[in-house]
């Protein structure tokens, strides 16, 4: 019972928590990117273009972030670097698509944004390929 009210934590608990965060946020964003990847031809002409670089280019960047960077986050390879496109992508959703509204049906993007920011600051943890290769 004492542990529940303690502010102390072990290195193992922190390592496990970062691992779970990476698996959860990375794993949950991948299907969003995959669905866009398999429907690329259908969505490339009508996809939102907030940066005014073209519909297909915007969709390609979102697919890169959500699918490929999501995979990198899950396996823990180039984790901090992979979080940057994910943070940009989810920021666009939160602030451009949802107009900064983070409650109600718009919570998902805000939660992803918070999670990827947390992973950016904590790093990949000890259970990652980054740790194995010494980054």
Residue 135 scores a pLDDT above 70: no
pTM for the whole thing?
Answer: 0.91
Residue 3 scores a pLDDT above 80: no
DSSP letters along 45-100, please?
TTS--TTSS-HHHHHHHHHIIIIIIHHHHHHTSSHHHHHHHHHHHHHHIIIIISTT
Residue 1 scores a pLDDT above 80: no
pLDDT tens string 112-124? 999 999 999 999 9
- pLDDT category of residue 32 using cuts at 50, 70 and 90: very high
CA dihedral 32, 114, 83, 64 (to 10 degrees): 20
What pLDDT is attached to residue 6? 80
Rounded Cα gap, residues 36 and 111, in angstroms: 20
Residue 2 scores a pLDDT above 80: no
Residues in contact with 91: Cβ distance below 8 Å, sequence separation at least 6, in sequence order: 113
Q: Looking at residues 59-67, what average pLDDT do you find?
A: 97
What pLDDT is attached to residue 134? 84
Conformation bin of residue 78: beta by default, left when phi > 0, alpha when psi is -120 to 50: left
Between 41-55, 65-79, 80-94, the lowest mean confidence (pLDDT) is in 41-55
């Amino acid at each position: 019972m004492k542990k529940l009210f303690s502010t102390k934590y072990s290195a193992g608990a922190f390592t496990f928590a970062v691992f779970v965060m990476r698996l959860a946020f990375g794993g949950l964003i991948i299907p969003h990117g995959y669905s866009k990847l398999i429907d690329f031809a259908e969505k490339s002409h009508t996809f939102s273009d907030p940066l005014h670089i073209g519909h297909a280019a915007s969709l390609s960047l979102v697919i890169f972030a959500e699918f490929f960077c999501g995979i990198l986050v899950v396996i823990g390879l180039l984790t901090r670097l992979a979080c940057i496109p994910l943070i940009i992508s989810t920021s666009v959703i939160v602030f451009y698509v949802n107009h900064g509204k983070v409650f109600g049906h718009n919570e998902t993007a805000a939660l992803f944004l918070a999670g990827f920011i947390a992973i950016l600051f904590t790093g990949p943890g000890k259970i990652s390929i980054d740790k194995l290769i010494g980054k």
